[in-house]
Homo-oligomer: A and B are copies of this chain.
Amino acid sequence: MKQIESHQCHGGELQVWEHASTSLSCDMRFSIFLPPQVKDGVCPAVTFLSGLTCTHDNFTSKAGAYGVAAELGLIVIAPDTSPRGDDVPDDVDSYDFGKGAGFYINATQTPWAKHFQMEAYIVKELRSLIADNFPIDSERQGIMGHSMGGHGALTLFLKHPDLYQSVSAFSPIVAPSQVPWGQKAFNGYLGDDEIEWTKHDACHLVESSQKKNIEILIDQGLGDNFLREQLKPELFEDACAKVEQKLNLRLQDGYDHSYFFIQSFIGDHLRHHAQNILK
């Protein structure tokens, strides 16, 4: 593991690391913010999963998260969105499939399966790597994300009830089996058996969730171009209502899909995580 960057930030430290990933068979980068409280011992952590076309850097540079994280004593981890490198297959004409579009699932189809194992990477490999190398309280972790990464946060939270104590999302893809972005990705990575898709769809997973007492926080901008075709938060609202999953879905007037939206509410999300992780 090699340190690529290190910056003092809000009294803590923002670091970028590169490591050889065994689950993805390529080199990967992630950023980690260590709040000033790590001087006194381990801290809880939140992982932010980014959206289509992003690397670790978009959230790291643009979300404005570290002031509040420093105040709350939260470690904040930002992984990349897909495997990387010349050996990794890609669909160069698509921004929504291949590199930059790993969808936080384990691909089963050729040629994707060899590298596109983003679920294994996030919940096993990166988690262990960070537990072994940073002053983290591994039993106290939350997960959040944006758009494709909101899908990632919701599904990984629901699939791995032992790993995360809190979850939130900005403009998440809540029903990938029912919208073009998700259908294209699932068809490519998982094949055309739609039953298989439901195992990675938050609207389906919430039915079998063991986490109904933990409130899910979602912010969705009403000025978001992708709202009606790709995001459809009402489907998740219905799914949660059906099984009495606690949900705080906040529809934010005028906000779009950008990091200007994320920076406006990231403080609320970090406070939501701190409250749930520490309770």
Q: Which residues of A contact B (CB under 8 A)?
A: 7-11, 14, 61-62, 64, 66-67, 221, 223, 252-256, 258-261, 263-264, 267
Contacts and interface: CB of A to CB of B under 8 A. Distances in A.
Nearest to A9: B260
Contact of A8 (B7, B14, B260): B260
Q: How many copies does the complex hold?
A: 2
Given A61-B61, A61-B62, A7 B67 contact: no
Contacts of A11: 264
A267 B8 CA distance: 16
The 9 closest A-B pairs by CB, nearest first: A64-B64, A7-B260, A9-B260, A8-B254, A8-B255, A10-B264, A61-B62, A7-B258, A14-B260
A267 B62 CA distance: 16
B7 A61 contact: no
Contacts of A10: 263-264
A62 B263 CA distance: 10
Interface residue SS majority, chain A? mixed
Contact of A67 (B9, B62, B221, B263): B263
